[in-house]
């Protein structure tokens, strides 16, 4: 949901996403702990490694920066 919202913000600002690649652009995101979705303890063996990094609040801005 955050990636989609970030992309929409870039579009609405009239910024070409391709122009951001290699630029000195920062991503600043405020997040709090959440209880949405399954916990890491409930993840299956195949997804256990992704569930933790996919939901950690400390990595969300990096995920957006990498994706944009």
Range of the domain at 28: 2-67
The per-residue pLDDT for 33 is 72
Q: How many domains is the chain partitioned into structurally?
A: 1
Mean pLDDT by 10 residues, the chain (68 residues): 90 91 88 66 66 72 86
Token readout for 5 is 């919202």
- State residue 43 phi and psi, 5-degree precision: -70, 145
| DSSP conformational letter for 43 | S
| DSSP conformational letter for 58 | G
Contacts of 21 (CB under 8 A, 6+ apart): none
């Amino acid at each position: 949901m955050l990636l989609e919202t970030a992309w929409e913000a870039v579009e609405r600002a009239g910024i070409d996403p391709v122009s951001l690649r290699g630029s000195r652009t920062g991503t600043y995101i405020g997040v709090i702990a959440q209880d949405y979705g399954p916990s890491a303890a409930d993840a299956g063996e195949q997804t256990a490694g992704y569930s933790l990094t996919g939901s950690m609040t400390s990595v969300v801005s990096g995920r957006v920066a990498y994706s944009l």
